[in-house]
Amino acid sequence: TQLLEQSPQFLSIQEGENLTVYCNSSSVFSSLQWYRQEPGEGPVLLVTVVTGGEVKKLKRLTFQFGDARKDSSLHITAAQPGDTGLYLCAGPDRGSTLGRLYFGRGTQLTVWP
């Protein structure tokens, strides 16, 4: 059983479209992080959300942390081919910010020119 469930698992869209991916859990997290991973590479940290209800923007990417700190979403506006990759959400061990991270299985995004 995955502690963090991500949906959709796969997403294939045309350049210029908008999209949202979701990360849900029945557990409360002190923070959630989003990573993007490209083939053959390690995950790269995009953002960390800490406060319930928090919204963070990174250019065309908008990240939201749910009020109850059990879920998060990533919205991409006007997707570009360079956004292609595996998007992973992750959260630390319950009650701890140290060391261990739990990962969702990821959303594989493909943006076609």
Partner 1 sequence: KAGVTQTPRYLIKTRGQQVTLSCSPISGHRSVSWYQQTPGQGLQFLFEYFSETQRNKGNFPGRFSGRQFSNSRSEMNVSTLELGDSALYLCASSLRGESTEAFFGQGTRLTVV
C-alpha 29/C-alpha 31 separation (Å) is 5
Distance of CA 99 to the CA centre of its chain: 19
Least distance in Å: CB of 73 to partner 1?
A: 19
Q: Smaller CB distance to partner 1: residue 79 or 106?
A: 106
Q: Smaller CB distance to partner 1: residue 22 or 103?
A: 103
Q: Smaller CB distance to partner 1: residue 13 or 50?
A: 50
Residues that bind partner 1 (CB under 8 A): 2, 31, 33, 35, 40-45, 48, 50, 88, 90, 92-93, 96-106
C-alpha 6/C-alpha 22 separation (Å) is 5
Least distance in Å: CB of 28 to partner 1?
A: 15
Least distance in Å: CB of 18 to partner 1?
A: 26
Nearest to 51 by CA among 76, 34, 68, 35: 68
C-alpha 75/C-alpha 86 separation (Å) is 14
